[in-house]
Chains A and B, each alone.
Chain A
Amino acid sequence: MITLSYIGRNTFLEAVNEKSGTNVLECYQCGKCVSTCPVSQYMDFPPREIMQLIKLGMKNEVLMANSTWFCLTCSACSGRCPREIEIPAVMESIRHLSIEENYINDSSKVREIRKFHEIFLDMIKRYGRNYELRMMAEFNIRTRNLFKDMNLAPKAILKGKIPLSVKPVKSAKAIKRMYKLAEKLEKQHS
């Protein structure tokens, strides 16, 4: 059951509005975003419901939902929104809030999506560029699914579609420093 979790000032709504640079209160619940969204069917709450939950200040429900992790940032919703709300920016701010405040959706799909992004960022930290083959291999190892895409990988490698090596950036130090400074900056602000 969902219960109303705030009385008085809706600080959650204020935080989302500030972070996303939009005004969620503009939403009048027409649902065009839901019919446009290519992945709404996988979401605990489709975009329209997320908007309403934010208005009601239901922080826990919003930050624990898988919705933001399924959002592909394709911007089809915002392009058709009659209130011109940047819905992907809203989705992104609640994702960042859930990371900052440690709200962890523990479903296996969200875990896998999150793992993928972590590995990708790790590749850039290490090489300054993406190392596709290593990224795929690490994803399979870290999600304990060793044979994923094994019907595809050998053909793709043979055709030269996925190269075996990567050409890293020369200023690897500059990238590592950037990561450090970015982390520090985000800690200051959260």
Chain B
Amino acid sequence: MKKLTYFPGCSAHGTSEEFDKTVKMVMSALDVEMEELPDWNCCGATSAHTMSETLANALPLRNLILAEKLDNNIMAIPCASCYQRLKVTKVHMDDNPELAHKINSTVVEEGIYEGKVAVKSMLQYCYEDIGTEAIKSKVTKSLTGMKLACYYGCLLTRPKAITQFDSPEYPVSMDQIVEALGAKATEFDYKTECCGASFSISNTEVVIRLSGQILEMAKESGAQAIVVACPLCQSNLDMRQPDIEKHTGKKYDLPVFYFTQLMALAFGMPKEEMMFGKHIVPVDGALANIGKIDPVPEKIKKTKKAVEAESEVE
């Protein structure tokens, strides 16, 4: 049995409760024991690094030190923003002793940072430590028929020097996970475009434009739904979707799932436990595609040359 330290992050108790819950469900199905970090605090998110260099590192540092008190050598984080802040601080602490000493002087109660625990996003953990084969082996209800646009956002793969995971331009890890579940990942060009992130409240018009473009491209890719691994991406694309539709005058009707919700679904877990009721855009339309098989495309007529080439091989 694998073990890890789990850092839920503030939104797990709020806007992304369904992410938190389904992460716990699928991890237990995959035989991973998760130990929640005791008395964790907020990572500081965008606001800390916007306003104060010291707080931006001090808030994550307290969590990194607390994690070293447990026995696990990996801490996995569902929220992309928490993941990024903790990873950035970890890299600073490991690479810059002078800064490390300075920052550690503001975190006094918890002790001295040693650098024993690796920090991974939940997506990265699923992809690297569990693997698509193990995920596939747990599937009892294949998601065949679903076409999904996998949206990664900015922080899971960028900056490359910090995340060391997947491609910063065209990542494929989540695509491979949903394909292991039986769904089809569409060719989607806006995988890593920014959704507007923390401007959701302070600068909503930017979010409407940026998230609008992502919905537009996802629809164009032929997707019936979007899959994400970040609570802020989810709430911008889902909760703001009615506003965006009002703004563009188009109907997207694209529910936005966490990848763990779909894993739980494919693992045959009861649908009621995935908290689909919390979604602003209803999910039933998209889920109704499960089991539907695409009409077989018309046979492509072979050219004379191709037929000749084939017969030569024989």
Q: Is A99 an interface residue (CB 8 A)?
A: yes
Contact of A171 among B39, B102, B197, B204 (CB under 8 A): B39
Q: Is the CB of A121 within 8 A of B55?
A: yes
What B residues does A124 contact at CB under 8 A?
41-42, 44, 48, 59
CA distance A99 to B3 in the complex (A): 43
Q: Is A156 an interface residue (CB 8 A)?
A: yes
Q: Is the CB of A72 within 8 A of B196?
A: yes
What A residues does B235 contact at CB under 8 A?
161
Q: Is A73 an interface residue (CB 8 A)?
A: yes
Q: Is B203 an interface residue (CB 8 A)?
A: yes
Q: Which residue of B lies closest to A119 (CB)?
A: B47
Q: Is A12 an interface residue (CB 8 A)?
A: no
Q: Is the CB of A178 within 8 A of B50?
A: no
What B residues does A92 contact at CB under 8 A?
49-50, 53
Q: Is the CB of A79 within 8 A of B14?
A: no
Q: Is the CB of A178 within 8 A of B62?
A: yes
CA distance A110 to B39 in the complex (A): 34
Q: Is A30 an interface residue (CB 8 A)?
A: no
In the complex, identify which listed stretch (A1-9, A44-52, A53-61, A127-135) lies at the interface while the others stay far away. Answer: A127-135
Q: Is B309 an interface residue (CB 8 A)?
A: no
Q: Is the CB of B158 within 8 A of A75?
A: yes
Q: Is the CB of B193 within 8 A of A38?
A: yes
Q: Is B109 an interface residue (CB 8 A)?
A: yes
What A residues does B15 contact at CB under 8 A?
132, 161-162
Q: Is B106 an interface residue (CB 8 A)?
A: yes
CA distance A179 to B58 in the complex (A): 9
Q: Is the CB of A121 within 8 A of B198?
A: no
How far apart are A97's CB and chain B's nearest CB, in angstroms? 11
Interface string of B52-80 (1 = CB under 8 A from A): 11110011001000000000000000000
Contact of B40 among A78, A139, A156, A169 (CB under 8 A): A169
Q: Is B105 an interface residue (CB 8 A)?
A: yes
Given A72-B194, A73-B46, A139-B202, are A182 and B280 also a contact pair (CB < 8 Å)? no
Q: Is A141 an interface residue (CB 8 A)?
A: no
Q: Is the CB of B39 within 8 A of A79?
A: no
Chain A interface, >50% SS class: helix
Q: Is the CB of B39 within 8 A of A169?
A: yes
Q: Is the CB of A38 within 8 A of B203?
A: no
What B residues does A88 contact at CB under 8 A?
159
What B residues does A112 contact at CB under 8 A?
202-203
Q: Is the CB of A185 within 8 A of B280?
A: no
Q: Is the CB of B201 within 8 A of A139?
A: yes
What B residues does A182 contact at CB under 8 A?
52, 54-55, 58, 106
Q: Which residue of B lies closest to A96 (CB)?
A: B53
Q: Is the CB of B42 within 8 A of A171?
A: no
Q: Is the CB of B51 within 8 A of A99?
A: yes
CA distance A79 to B47 in the complex (A): 22
Q: Is the CB of B47 within 8 A of A116?
A: yes
Q: Which residue of B lies closest to A88 (CB)?
A: B159
How far apart are B16's CB and chain A's nearest CB, in angstroms? 9
Q: Is the CB of A169 within 8 A of B17?
A: no
The A106-136 residues at the B interface (CB cut-off 8 A) are 109, 112-113, 115-118, 120-121, 123-124, 128-130, 132, 135-136
CA distance A130 to B59 in the complex (A): 13
Q: Is the CB of B154 within 8 A of A76?
A: yes
4 more A-B contacts (CB under 8 A) besides A96-B52, A161-B235?
A96-B53, A121-B48, A123-B42, A178-B59
- 5 shortest A-B CB distances, which residue pairs? A116-B202, A120-B47, A74-B154, A117-B47, A74-B194
Interface residues of A (CB under 8 A from B): 38-39, 42, 70, 72-76, 78-79, 86, 88, 92, 95-96, 99, 109, 112-113, 115-118, 120-121, 123-124, 128-130, 132, 135-136, 139, 148-149, 151-152, 155-156, 159-163, 166-167, 169-171, 174-175, 177-179, 181-182, 185-186
User: Can you report 18 residue pairs joining A to B where beta carbons are below 8 Å apart?
Assistant: A42-B206, A74-B154, A74-B158, A121-B55, A123-B42, A124-B42, A130-B10, A148-B204, A155-B280, A156-B280, A159-B278, A169-B41, A174-B62, A175-B62, A178-B107, A182-B55, A182-B106, A185-B106
